[in-house]
Structure 1
Amino acid sequence: MKLHWQIAIALGLAAATGAFFTPDSGVITAGAFIGNLFLNALKMLVVPLIVSSLIQGLLSLNDPNALSRMGLKAITYYTGTCLAAVLVGLALINLIQPGIIDGKPAGVLLGLTSSSDDVIAKIGHHDMGDIVGVFTRLIPPNLIEAAAKGDILGLILFSLAFGYFCSRLPEPLASTQRDFWRGFQQVMLDITGLVMKFAPYGVFGLVAKTVALTGLDAIRPLAWFFFAVLAGLATHMFIVLPLTLKFIGRVSPWRHFKAMSPALLTAFSSSSSAATLPVTLDCIQNRAGVSPRVTSFVLPLGATINLDGTALYEIAVVMFIAQAYGLDLSLGTQFMIAILALITSTGVAGIPSASLVAISVILGSVGLPLEGLGVILAVDRILDMCRTAVNVFSDSCGAVVVARLEGEDVLKS
């Protein structure tokens, strides 16, 4: 049975169990314990998963020197579209405010146990000055200490630098590094896959506890959150990216959608941009007419660092949890969260639900309790399928844009 169906069944069973049992019953207590173990397992994967994904992504490039020309064009595109996705998500969450129900924070309905006053005390001091701190943390004095504290920003920059200079080593040193990091990343992907197999149990335990504490009222804010994220993903995929194709790539967005349909369906069903990469390569080369010279560089790099849908989802989750606690975040704090979403989405592995790891990093960075992450697990899987399709479509648009800027004819057939 597909994982999303397992999670859907677990969600239904959790709602029934939570409605039948009291919060202090053995079933609810045991379920909450399993749910907490699942969250701890996700936190455990943060450092090795981000490091291995970034380093392996750079080592997989066929021509490291291409970073000087095509790399600049691709990274400019990635940064621009990812920033646009973050701003779309931020605007819609502020407009719809799914974490506010009937004028009151939804934290009680969602079963969030942390005191709003305690959360405000942790996060209230953030302002525009903290933006400087974000960039300062890119170069920590002690990399190991920063990683142990969950301060991943410096680790991301170090991993990018490490992967780049590893790719420029002479043979056989370069091949040794490629083999090591390819194996390391595969091990981490396998462990992450194992952890995600327990996602239905984690969802059951966390949602059953929430329903037992609050009843079925928790469904309402989650439904608003679900549709707010869907609206953001749809806006980016059907408005922002087609406009980019039309005016920069100078191709028909409709023809590009048709060319990419096999990859988009694969991305939606698998929730994995990494697993979809071979299909994306085939669609871009054989259906969209982009040369292998461009696709072999742009698409693997994009699958690693260009995750528009993931960045949008990350900021939506963090803002939703903040609203549920009743926090009125300042413009400076929201801008800092946007920067964190932009940076941490770079290190997310292209596998199902890996963005949960990055979200835990952002929550810790701004002082929000991790318990809020357990709440959105109920709707994460379906949204994961949608945002993966957005990620893959954005990568394909990037390949078309770079090819056009390189003087190639795209979608000529």
Structure 2
Amino acid sequence: MRLAIHWQILIALVLAVLMGVWTGTEGMIAGIQWVAIYTFIGTLFLNALKMIVVPLVVSAIITGVANIGEQGGFGRLGSKTIGYYILTSFIAILVGLTLVNLIQPGVSDNGIPVLESNEQVMSAVAGKSAGDVVDVFLRMIPVNVVDAAAEGQMLGLIFFSLLFGYFITHLKGELKTTLSNFWQAIFEVMMMMTAWVMKFAPIGVFGLVAASVAKTGFEQFGNLALFFLTVTLALGVHFLIVMPLLLRFLGGVKNPWLHFQAMAPALLTAFSTSSSSSTLPITMNAVETRAGVSNRVSSFVLPLGATVNMDGTALYECVAAVFIAQLFGVHLDFSTQLLIVVIALTTSIGVAGIPSASLVAISIILVAVGLPAEAIGLLLVVDRLLDMMRTTINIFSDSVGAVIIARSEGEEQVLVSKHF
């Protein structure tokens, strides 16, 4: 019987810590340093991840936007749904950014960077920030899309993909079918490639974590614990404060806590499976039979939400990027953090439906702001439990959206006690 991927990664993490401690930076085998072997393995995995990023994100966004248009998603119901998704993801990102800047989990007690930084990292980040908010928006429109892809300028590629997908919906007949099928085929191939690359995740994680432990020992693990607490607190604020407030003031629900009771089966399933898509049938059942939302609303809002609405993922991406910058002692100015917000917002939509979406999205953000993608290995130490938490937030946000939109459509039966 084959072990589930998360158990494989957990075993790889344990082995990586043990090997990293045992070999340190001086250990050798056959005249080769162990740390060089770890670095080689980790770099191969990261290169494979970076290889698939551009075609995956472009095809995912183009097909996603085109499919929304195909379903009539730009009508009244679609506009409300997309507007809700953007609003809640943006709020989640702001909550995460606020807490990570206040708590500063990546800053050491003595102010010395936890991980070894260098001038190249500093200059890369400085070159990305440019010190001007206007530059963030200028990067949205690339002069040359091919150059943007080659240089990893994801913000410009995302904007281009959004436009391309939207205007596919304006084509007629055979042209529209051909182009839609073309990008759908690319997306399916990239999904298969991503699944194939992720089969090697345990090996890649072993290399990344072992190299980190060998070089820095356990110095960063105290910061990781604080990072875990920061993400957990941010998710808790979004789950227990932001969502009830939205239910109360946007949905007009007098007792928002009824919705927590209604969604209990779906929340427990999401937490245990870490999959919004796998939880979708249970989410739909809870929203319709327990919360009282009509099938007309739930059948549109929830499947779309399971694909593109990822509040927890967007929050996590931002906190992770700023945390890594703090570990390297790199200051991110306002325009750079705004760039992180924009990329997190768009990638949480564009890559949410793929396996290990947060891993891909965080690598996009790190590259975009000039930080080394290798630092992702550290996050994987605590990622499994955080993944369970953010998936729970993701599906709860979908269900809240269904309630709010149903209420806006005049469904007065939503969230009354008779459904329980």
Q: Normalization by structure 2: what TM-score? A: 0.88
Higher mean C-alpha deviation, range 368-377 or range 224-233: 368-377
Query: Residue 45 of structure 1 contacts residue 357 of structure 1 at CA under 8 Å; is this kept in 2?
Result: no
Structure 1 residues 60 and 261: alpha-carbon distance in aligned structure 2, compared to 1, 3 A threshold: farther
Matched, 1:293 2:293: no
Query: Cα deviation per residue 1:154-189 (whole Å; 9 max; x = unaligned)?
Result: 222232233333345444554555544444333322
1:380 pairs with 361, 380, 383, which one?
383
Matched, 1:81 2:88: yes
1:214 pairs with 195, 213, 216, which one?
216
Matched ranges for 1:124-143 at <5 A: 124=126, 130-143=132-145
The offset of 1:316, in angstroms, is 0.7
The offset of 1:144, in angstroms, is 1.8
- Tell me what 1:193 maps to: 195
- Tell me what 1:245 maps to: 247
Matched to 2:55, the amino acid is P
For the residues of structure 1 that align with 2:112 and 2:327, how far apart are their CA atoms?
5
Q: Identity over aligned residues, as a percent?
A: 54
- Tell me what 1:340 maps to: 343
SS in 1 for 2:219: helix
Higher mean C-alpha deviation, range 124-133 or range 74-83: 124-133
- Tell me what 1:303 maps to: 306
Q: Normalization by structure 1: what TM-score? A: 0.90
2:360 pairs with 357, 362, 374, which one?
357
The offset of 1:62, in angstroms, is 7.7
Q: Which runs of 4+ in 1 moved over 6 A?
A: none
Matched to 2:314, the amino acid is A
For the residues of structure 1 that align with 2:280 and 2:157, how far apart are their CA atoms?
26
For the residues of structure 2 that align with 1:176 and 1:126, how far apart are their CA atoms?
38
- Tell me what 1:267 maps to: 270
- Tell me what 1:315 maps to: 318
Higher mean C-alpha deviation, range 141-150 or range 349-358: 349-358
The offset of 1:317, in angstroms, is 1.1
The offset of 1:66, in angstroms, is 4.1
SS in 2 for 1:99: coil
For the residues of structure 1 that align with 2:258 and 2:292, how far apart are their CA atoms?
12
For the residues of structure 2 that align with 1:281 and 1:180, how far apart are their CA atoms?
31
Matched ranges for 1:2-17 at <5 A: 2-17=4-19
The offset of 1:232, in angstroms, is 0.8
- In structure 1, the gaps of 5 or more residues are none
- Tell me what 2:206 maps to: 204
SS in 2 for 1:163: helix
- Tell me what 2:415 maps to: 411
For the residues of structure 2 that align with 1:354 and 1:30, how far apart are their CA atoms?
27
- Tell me what 2:373 maps to: 370
- Tell me what 1:277 maps to: 280
Query: Cα deviation per residue 1:163-219 (whole Å; 9 max; x = unaligned)?
Result: 333345444554555544444333322222222222221121111112112222232
Structure 1 residues 223 and 51: alpha-carbon distance in aligned structure 2, compared to 1, 3 A threshold: same
For the residues of structure 1 that align with 2:150 and 2:5, how far apart are their CA atoms?
31
Query: Cα deviation per residue 1:3-30 (whole Å; 9 max; x = unaligned)?
Result: 2222222111111111111324344432
Matched, 1:52 2:59: yes
SS in 1 for 2:410: coil
For the residues of structure 2 that align with 1:57 and 1:278, how far apart are their CA atoms?
21
CA RMSD, 1 decimal: 2.4
2:147 pairs with 145, 152, 158, which one?
145
- Tell me what 2:46 maps to: 39
Structure 1 residues 155 and 62: alpha-carbon distance in aligned structure 2, compared to 1, 3 A threshold: closer
Matched to 1:70, the amino acid is L
The offset of 1:244, in angstroms, is 0.8
Matched, 1:29 2:33: no
Higher mean C-alpha deviation, range 317-326 or range 304-313: 304-313
Query: Residue 53 of structure 1 contacts residue 349 of structure 1 at CA under 8 Å; is this kept in 2?
Result: no
Matched to 2:210, the amino acid is A
Query: Residue 108 of structure 2 contacts residue 114 of structure 2 at CA under 8 Å; is this kept in 1?
Result: no
Matched ranges for 1:161-200 at <5 A: 161-171=163-173, 173-200=175-202
Matched to 2:18, the amino acid is A
The offset of 1:135, in angstroms, is 1.8
Matched to 1:136, the amino acid is L
Matched to 1:354, the amino acid is A
Query: Cα deviation per residue 1:252-309 (whole Å; 9 max; x = unaligned)?
Result: 4332223323333333333332333343333323332222322333233333432211
- In structure 2, the gaps of 5 or more residues are none
The offset of 1:85, in angstroms, is 0.9
